[in-house]
Structure 1
Amino acid sequence: MSHPSGQPPGPSADEAADDLPDVAPRLRALRRRRGLTLEAAAQRAGLSPAHLSRLETGNRQPSLPMLLTLARTYGTTVSELLGEQAPERDAIIRGGRMGPAEADGWTYRQAGGRGRAMQALRVHVPYGAQGDLVRVHPGEEWLHVLEGRLRLGLGDTVHELEPGDSAHFDSLTPHRIAAATHEGAELLFVHTLLQSPDPHAHPHA
Structure 2
Amino acid sequence: MDAMIRQRIRGLRLARGWSLDALAARCFLSPSTLSRIETGHRRIALDQLVPIARALGTTLDQLVESADDEDVVIRPQPEHTPGVTTWLLSRDRALPGVTVAKMRITPDRPTTADQLGVHPGRDWFTVLSGTARLHLGERTLLVQAGEAAEFSTMVPHAIGAHGGPVEILTIFDRDGERAHLHGPDSGPHPHP
Q: Provide the TM-score with structure 1 as the length reference.
A: 0.46
- Structure having the higher helix fraction is 2
Q: Provide the TM-score with structure 2 as the length reference.
A: 0.49
